[in-house]
Structure 1
């Protein structure tokens, strides 16, 4: 919902020959139930005064280490430094001190102390950090000592970052980016998370939200003063055109093939093909271990075998599946059914075929591609890559080019490789080319704007888009203005500019206790 003060600000400058009468604006229209995001942000500055307790926690990993960092945040954080070091600290200056128990006076450790007065700290509150030796006993001693100070308590999971959010240090998209950064396992995930944590999505969504507020301001001026005041001609037409342009931008942003979400969660790659084509051998070669059983008996693999790999900096979850063929075996039929289900949800499919069988069919004047199961043919689409395995069994290497040419007549794909899972021949070329395909398809650094990384972002953007679509077909200006307010509200939910208490717990649960 829009706060009337911002409405005034945005209407006052653009409109000519227009004099404001603030008393005309009704508060129920702009601040229903007084739950304006702007009022909410005003309250956020007093978060510390509403929470008199001071929190502390270990911010580094659990277990023995050379160094451990214990963070303290809250209105009485400075008392931790005074009572445990007996001296007042200089802000933002590292000081080496003896750290003592506040009750017994026993020296627990020698360490470095940092003092960050709020609001210029991570949480926006007064913050102290103890950089100590990472032994289990030392860490426990410092934590126990902090627990003896009045109004001090151990932090909950993500509570430091929650306080930073309430004190306007971060918005929700930046916090989600920070959580992804902490959980990133590959370079591509790190780059994407860092971009979001630095405000990539916040800047984009806040800019769109500002445009909606400005255009809503024009509509509100027409509704409230159109009959009495001389409002500039063509205002409504200009608003309609602005909304049409914004709708196009949001539609384009949503039409990203879920690249950001896929990269965040891992790229699902499924290996498929007929029995004995070398699917399990292919998986084992990529994993560099015996992840799947390999045998000359067709139908050895019955269930899904799944492993996670860091492939050239990209997170992939690769699955080996049962060989696809007609069968009367009940267990094999179940395996094939599971394979079909996995194939449907795959982001990339790698079809493994036998070079030797294709070559033999050519020599016998048979068509190998007509003989393979229709189940396989039906799975081929733009996300299917073709691998011709067992190329070590082809005596004349020039025949490999012929095999590729024939295969492409029946299997339409942008990527095809000849390789041998037994000797490793062709795998270097495969890995380079496959990594390039992942980069082309999923690398967020090539995008001009940050990608959508959360399902909730997509849901709220669709709500916003629907409201804009409704606006463009409505003839009633009052109802049209209401649709713009709804669109603004939907964008505000993404960044946390409106009431989002119900999702905060889910977001902050992703953090460790000391973050």
Structure 2
């Protein structure tokens, strides 16, 4: 990534397509538009122009967004042309001959960050929005991208400045009589309120993570209890191999499923049993590990398979009686049959209700591991400050540590170490 270059990228879908959108950003955008579109159009208005220089290549809509009022903060433009592979290649070859280069992954968004148009929290929200597969993911990502978490962080930082001002006044003017050694009562109230507010935000991390990553549902039980058949029935596909032979499933298969606007990740696991096969034994080990970490475990019992004791798990556990077309299982939460589709809708509805409980009501703003670490660091620093009140240098340093943790979260300091990894996950043209 080279600063000062003018970059270009195809930002729309794969070709051929009805319309292709070519984005430009950088100091040479105006020169490029003059060369290929006959001049710079009126800012922020789509204008129909022939596209080409000595030779007409296409005709399309041209939009110009002058700095600093653009997505990247630089001069930007979009060419909306016909989605012909040959046409797009010719236009981009012409732009390249004018000195523009192809953008790297995420380079438009990175320039927006470096030019102060987005902070790191909003950038992550944009990344989540681009990858959103369900309605809940879209809502949560958009709330983050719109700056709702940043607003909270700004309020916390303002409060920290007020708290630090009282402490540092005692450091700087301790020899003057008009500065008391005792902190005012409202200082402690502010500290309490700040800790409560950050703690409440931190408590929403698990629900935010679940929405962003999906609710992990382990389909577990003995061999031939119907795990792969249930996976296929719920996903309405034939993704998993179904066989009467025990031990067919030997690895963890993951399938994403949208239920009620929430992403569920179904895990088809190896059947639990003792085995001499090293490959199957590894599958059983992975199955047990998945059960221990799943948000929901569907424990399957079939009438033609010997039952096993229900496993210990940190997540919710539902006992599912399978193969109800053969016989009715006793002591189960829901009975299903993949042959007759009995109980499948009831199971989907139950999962939707559990998903609502796990994901919470309003979109959670704290959903990334970086968020959790930063807020935990800030809370630890505030607690350290409380315990060192009276030793003004230590108290001030603790408050500065809390501020630094929040500033790292939004990318004001130490941002470089996360930028390359973050923007590499973005598509070209974004």
2:28 corresponds in structure 1 to 76
1:441 corresponds in structure 2 to 358
In structure 2, distance between residues paired with 1:161 and 1:192: 19
1:108 corresponds in structure 2 to 57
2:196 corresponds in structure 1 to 248
Q: Deviations over 1:314-348 (max 9, x none)?
A: 22221222222445565544332221122122121
TM-score, length of structure 1 as denominator length: 0.77
Q: Deviations over 1:178-204 (max 9, x none)?
A: 111111122221111111111121111
2:91 corresponds in structure 1 to 142
* Secondary structure in 1 matching 2:200: helix
In structure 1, distance between residues paired with 2:381 and 2:276: 53
Choose the corresponding residue for 2:386, options 472, 479, 482: 472
Change (3 A) 1:298 1:77: closer
2:77 corresponds in structure 1 to 128
* Secondary structure in 1 matching 2:325: helix
Change (3 A) 1:94 1:225: same
2:398 corresponds in structure 1 to 483
Contact 1:201 1:450 in 2 (8 A): no
Would you tell me which structure has more helix in proportion to its own residues?
Answer: 1
1:195-206 maps to which residues of 2 (within 5 A)? 195-206=143-154
Are 2:380 and 1:432 equivalent residues in the alignment? no
Change (3 A) 1:169 1:393: same
2:219 corresponds in structure 1 to 271
In structure 1, distance between residues paired with 2:4 and 2:251: 56
Q: Deviations over 1:364-417 (max 9, x none)?
A: xxxxxxx844xx43425551122122333447xxxx8xx44xx5xxxxxxxx21
User: 472-481 or 259-268: which moved more?
Assistant: 259-268
Contact 2:8 2:103 in 1 (8 A): yes
1:276: how far off?
3.0
Contact 1:259 1:451 in 2 (8 A): no
Are 2:426 and 1:507 equivalent residues in the alignment? no
1:297: how far off?
4.4
Choose the corresponding residue for 2:324, options 388, 391, 398: 391
In structure 2, distance between residues paired with 1:504 and 1:75: 23
Are 2:260 and 1:346 equivalent residues in the alignment? no
1:179 corresponds in structure 2 to 127
1:225: how far off?
1.8
2:139 corresponds in structure 1 to 191
Contact 2:168 2:392 in 1 (8 A): no
2:18 corresponds in structure 1 to 66
In structure 2, distance between residues paired with 1:158 and 1:77: 19
| Unmatched segments (≥5 aa) in structure 1 | 1-49, 359-370, 408-415
Contact 1:200 1:450 in 2 (8 A): no
In structure 2, distance between residues paired with 1:229 and 1:73: 58
Choose the corresponding residue for 1:93, options 45, 48, 66: 45
Contact 2:109 2:123 in 1 (8 A): yes
Contact 1:114 1:130 in 2 (8 A): yes
Contact 1:307 1:317 in 2 (8 A): yes
In structure 2, distance between residues paired with 1:165 and 1:77: 19
2:257 corresponds in structure 1 to 309
In structure 2, distance between residues paired with 1:461 and 1:83: 51
* Secondary structure in 2 matching 1:280: helix
* Secondary structure in 1 matching 2:64: strand
In structure 2, distance between residues paired with 1:243 and 1:122: 37
In structure 2, distance between residues paired with 1:184 and 1:318: 18
1:284 corresponds in structure 2 to 232
Are 2:175 and 1:227 equivalent residues in the alignment? yes
User: 74-83 or 327-336: which moved more?
Assistant: 327-336
Q: Deviations over 1:207-258 (max 9, x none)?
A: 1112112211121112212431524786354323322322232223223362
Q: Deviations over 1:445-467 (max 9, x none)?
A: x23x7332211121222211211
TM-score, length of structure 2 as denominator length: 0.92
* Secondary structure in 1 matching 2:427: coil
| Unmatched segments (≥5 aa) in structure 2 | none
2:375 corresponds in structure 1 to 461
Look at both structures and tell me which one has the larger radius of gyration over its CA atoms: 1
